[in-house]
Amino acid sequence: MLLFQSVLIAGSLLSPTPLPGDTCSAKAASTTAWAETKDIVDTAVAAGSFKTLAAALKAADLVDALKAKGPFTVFAPTDEAFAKLPKGTLERLLDPKNKAELQAILTYHVVPASVMAEDVVKLKSAGTLNGQRVDVMVSDAGVAIDGAKVIKTDIRCSNGIVHVIDSVILPNSKDLVATAVGAGQFKTLAAALEAAGLVEALQGKGPFTVFAPTDAAFAALPAGTLESLLKPENKDQLAAILKLHVIPARVDSEAAARGASAASLQGQTLVTKLDGGAVTVNGARVVATDVDASNGVIHVIDRVLLPSATR
């Protein structure tokens, strides 16, 4: 039976499963009110199983953030989970010069909402404070968050919920351009970005949302169109086309499916909607979603969008 389902059946939504040495959870087994007077950070410290997490939060200057009102849901790696990282990784992350990377990793473990076990099993993914989304996999073996097994659930705190996981999960550290190149199906897009002088722009801080046409989408353009656009004298026209595919904000698949309207970097408005069970953007079909990068997200589309003036 699924881990989260077994927790629900056992009635643990009102009495979290105690952790070894977890004084907060042990006391919560007899009275939930005690646990709920402590915030997420103090609960983790009192548990005794999250010393590394507590040290990492302090090194990343995130203690005050997780003591805030929230609510938050933290997928908390145990000390053993941190110990499973490759040798030297933790020491490197705790170095002050790598503070930004540590912050990115820790915020990837935090969902800015209260998500109990009964809600987690209904999800396929969830947005994190990092900006990227974690994948939720439910199977007969239990529940996994980006491959990390959930081993304890529904530890109630005054400002949220803690679920315990057995591994540290890592966000994508590559930017949008590197992510697209690594995917292997955006060779033409990568070449076009280079020709248009837009590579550095999409390697910037962002966040950006890129509706990325595949190689097949570019190949479907009228004969000779792509070759013409890649000529140096047509650089501005190419840049305008590519900028039409970029929104200077992060728009995940859920928002796109609900319907979203936003100005592209080119200036023309992009409109997403749910059409016949598929999400479209300005008429192009979205064929894959939520490819996360360190500075944004990629949604894959089946044709190249063209600015109104070039139609």
Task: Give the position of tokens 């109630």.
Answer: 156
Helix axes 40-47, 51-59, angle to 10 degrees: 140
- Burial level of 50, CB count in 10 A (0-12/13-18/19+)? buried
| Rg of the chain on CA atoms, in Å | 22
**Confidence at residue 127, expressed as pLDDT on a 0 to 100 scale:** 93
**Confidence at residue 91, expressed as pLDDT on a 0 to 100 scale:** 96
pLDDT at 1 exceeding the cut of 80: no
Are 3-165 and 176-310 the same fold in CATH? yes
Q: Give 176-310's CATH code, choosing from 2.40.50.140, 2.30.180.10, 3.30.1370.10, 3.40.1110.10.
A: 2.30.180.10
**Among 19-28, 34-43, 95-104, 238-247, where is mean pLDDT lowest?**
19-28
What percent of the chain clears pLDDT 70, i.e. is strictly above it? 87
Average pLDDT of the chain is 88
How long a stretch of residues is the chain?
311
Reduced to 3 states, what is the DSSP secondary structure of residue 214?
A: coil
Q: Convert the pLDDT of each residue in 100-151 to its tens digit.
A: 999 999 999 999 999 999 999 899 999 999 999 999 999 988 999 999 999 9
Q: How far apart are CA 295 and CA 132, in angstroms?
A: 9
- Contact between residue 161 and residue 155 where contact means Cβ atoms under 8 Å apart: yes
Contacts of 128 (CB under 8 A, 6+ apart): 107, 108, 109, 110, 111, 112, 134, 171
Q: What is the mean pLDDT of residues 8-16?
A: 29
Q: How far apart are CA 169 and CA 150, in angstroms?
A: 12
Q: How far apart are CA 221 and CA 68, in angstroms?
A: 51
Q: What does the domain layout of the chain look like in residue ranges?
A: 3-165, 176-310
Q: Convert the pLDDT of each residue in 27-72 to its tens digit.
A: 333 334 444 679 999 999 998 899 999 999 999 999 999 999 989 9
| Residue 105, H or E segment | helix 99-107
pLDDT at 8 exceeding the cut of 90: no
**Confidence at residue 16, expressed as pLDDT on a 0 to 100 scale:** 36
Contacts of 73 (CB under 8 A, 6+ apart): 110, 111, 113, 114, 115, 160, 161, 162, 163
Bigger pLDDT: 35 vs 231: 231
Half-sphere exposure in the Cβ direction for 309 (13 Å, CA)? 8
Q: What is the mean pLDDT of residues 141-169?
A: 95
Which fold, 3-165? Answer: FAS1 domain (2.30.180)
pLDDT band at 285 (very low <50, low <70, confident <90, very high): very high
Q: What is the mean pLDDT of residues 181-196?
A: 95
